[in-house]
Amino acid sequence: MWTVVYIASDEDTAYKVAEAIKNEGFLVTTREVMKSKKHGCYIEILVPESEAEEVQNFILEKNL
């Protein structure tokens, strides 16, 4: 099962965070959850549930 570990408010941030997670050796996928002219877009970054805690710690350590 995939678990959301980060929600980015734009594509550039989503790409940066997802690439950093991937380069650390974790599986990662993204999912666009909202896109509108008024609110922009939000993109969820997901990892396998078994890796979620470790990835969240990585995100905090790297200030992503």
Give Rg (Cα) of the chain.
12
User: To the nearest 10°, the Cα dihedral for 45, 47, 51, 57?
Assistant: -10
* DSSP 8-state symbol, 1: -
Domain residue spans of the chain: 2-62
Distance, CA of 8 to CA of 57 (rounded, Å): 17
Full pLDDT tens readout for the chain, 64 residues: 999 999 999 889 999 999 999 999 999 999 999 776 776 789 999 999 999 999 999 999 999 8
In CATH, the architecture of 2-62 is 2-Layer Sandwich (3.30)
